[in-house]
Amino acid sequence: MTSLRYEVADRRKAAAADFWLRWEVLLLVLLGIVMLVNSRLSPWFLDYYNLLDSTFNFSEKAIMALSMTLIIVTRDIDLSVASIIALASVFMGLAAQAGAGVPLLVLIGLATGLLAGFANGAIITRFQIPAIVVTIGTMSLFRGIAYVVLGDTAITSYPAGFSWFGQSYLVWSIPFEFVLFLVLAAVFGFVLHFTTTGRRIYAIGNNPVAARFSGIPVDRYRLVLFTLNGLMAGLAAVLLTSRIGSTRPNIAAGWELEVITMVVLGGVSIMGGSGTISGVFIAVFVLGMMTFGLSLMNVPGIVMSVFVGVLLIASIAVPILIRRMLRR
């Protein structure tokens, strides 16, 4: 495979084709098409309030996609994030039943996520087991605990103020969740693209052995990233639980794949070592706007996932084909 890894060496002269074939640019074109088509097909699409409200549907997943980007850049994967949400939500629910206040609930949600992520990272790095194996295991484990605790019941006794995180708006009717995503995206983008830490994350993804020999504590980085990913899942759990005010063991079912879809569509190579936060950022909107547009036309969810699948395959295949044609 002739992979275009993140360039560390000298800069080539930028050609026009380089710009137009950049993943982010292609995604932007795609986003433009999605917006245009949707606004043509539904009179309700291009409405300030509707668009902002639609961000509720993807903000939590988008926040998880940010840390998942780092995980995938280092050649790892974490399939347990949705189950971590379930686990964190269950613990928050139990605490709420016991009468915990809002700050404590948030703390418990975040701490559960952090610990679950740390457990993932510790098992992976300590025993050198591939991340996919470990997180498939914890995916069943964490959700299993949620099912054991709750069975077919639900916890709904959350204090009144708790709904603020998932349901409130800041200025100009912008949901708090969405603002939080924007801020976090900026932070993640800065760390990955403008700091030594970010550089090292790419180095690990490109070649973990070489990175190790260059003095990068690879396993410590991976441990921290998995813990961070767990923390983000804990944050998503706080937001989601607050938004729907209820905990069920099947909460956020299937979200791990939706998060990974965002990351992969964002141009992050599943082989590690390449991809940008800005790509993932735009991909979040491509997917979010597409599903919102489809849902405005009342397209059934099953058909929607067909669209997403086609989009994912096409968006990855088309640039490869174009590059191949250009090279000839």
Partner 1 sequence: MRRLSSAVFRVAAAFLVATITVCGAASISQAQDKVRIAFLVKNLGNRFFDAVRDGGTEAAKELGNVEIIYVGPTSATAEGQIEIINSLMAQRVNAIAISANDTNALIPATKRAMDRGIKVVSFDSAIASEGRIIQVDPSETKLIGAKQVQMMADAMGGEGEFAILSAASTMTNQNNWIAAMKEELKDPKYAKMKLVTTAYGDDQSDKSYRETLGLFKSYPNLKGIISPTSIGIVAAAKAVTDQNLVGKVYVTGLGLPSEMKAAVEAGATKSFAIWNPIDLGYTTTQIAYNLIKGTVKGVPGDEVPAGRMGKVKVGPDGVVVMAEPFTFDKSNVAEYAKVF
Which residues lie below 8 Å from residue 13, measured CB to CB, with a gap of 6+? none
Q: Enumerate residues 45-74 that contact partner 1 by CB under 8 A.
A: 46-48, 50-51, 53-54, 56-57
The answer to whether 285 and 195 have CB atoms below 8 angstroms apart is: no
Q: What is the DSSP letter of 79?
A: -
- Give 53 or 219: the residue with its C-beta nearer to partner 1: 53
Q: How far apart are CA 237 and CA 207, in angstroms?
A: 33
- Give 208 or 249: the residue with its C-beta nearer to partner 1: 249
- Residue 49 CB, shortest distance to partner 1, in Å, is 8
- Give 43 or 215: the residue with its C-beta nearer to partner 1: 43
How many chain residues interact with partner 1 (CB under 8 A)?
A: 55
* 44 touches partner 1 by CB under 8 A: yes
Using the rule CB under 8 A, give the single segment among 97-105, 140-148, 211-219, 239-247 that binds partner 1. 239-247
* 24 touches partner 1 by CB under 8 A: yes
Q: Report which residue type is found at 209.
A: V
Using the rule CB under 8 A, give the single segment among 115-123, 140-148, 217-225, 287-295 that binds partner 1. 287-295
* 25 touches partner 1 by CB under 8 A: yes
Nearest by Cα to 69 from 168, 174, 201, 242: 201
* 179 touches partner 1 by CB under 8 A: no
- Give 128 or 298: the residue with its C-beta nearer to partner 1: 298
3-state secondary structure string, 159-194? CHHHHHHHHCECHHHCEHHHHHHHHHHHHHHHHHHH
- Give 140 or 305: the residue with its C-beta nearer to partner 1: 305
Q: What are phi and psi of 80, to 5 degrees?
A: -95, 5
DSSP per position, 221-252: HHHHHHHHHHHHHHHHHHHHHHHH--B-TTTT
| Of the residues 39, 137, 184, 191, which one makes contact with partner 1 according to CB under 8 A | 39
Per-residue tokens: 9: 């060496």
- Give 190 or 213: the residue with its C-beta nearer to partner 1: 190
* 212 touches partner 1 by CB under 8 A: no
The answer to whether 235 and 110 have CB atoms below 8 angstroms apart is: yes
Burial letters 75-90, b for 16+ CB under 10 A, else e:
bbbbbbbbbbbbbbbb
Alpha helices in the chain (DSSP H): 16-20, 23-41, 48-54, 59-73, 81-97, 102-127, 131-150, 164-167, 176-194, 196-206, 208-213, 218-244, 255-265, 277-296, 301-327
- Residue 86 CB, shortest distance to partner 1, in Å, is 11
Q: Enumerate residues 99-158 that contact partner 1 by CB under 8 A.
A: 154, 156
Rounded alpha-carbon distances, angstroms, from residue 30 to 124, 150, 278, 304: 37, 42, 14, 17
| Of the residues 4, 186, 187, 253, which one makes contact with partner 1 according to CB under 8 A | 253
Using the rule CB under 8 A, give the single segment among 91-99, 128-136, 247-255, 260-268 that binds partner 1. 247-255
| Of the residues 19, 164, 190, 213, which one makes contact with partner 1 according to CB under 8 A | 19
Q: How far apart are CA 158 and CA 89, in angstroms?
A: 11
* 21 touches partner 1 by CB under 8 A: no
* 5 touches partner 1 by CB under 8 A: no
Binding footprint of partner 1 on the chain (CB under 8 A): 7, 11, 14, 18-19, 22, 24-25, 28, 31-32, 35-36, 39, 42-44, 46-48, 50-51, 53-54, 56-57, 154, 156, 163, 167, 193, 240, 243-246, 248, 250-254, 276, 278, 282, 291-292, 295-296, 298, 300-302, 304-305
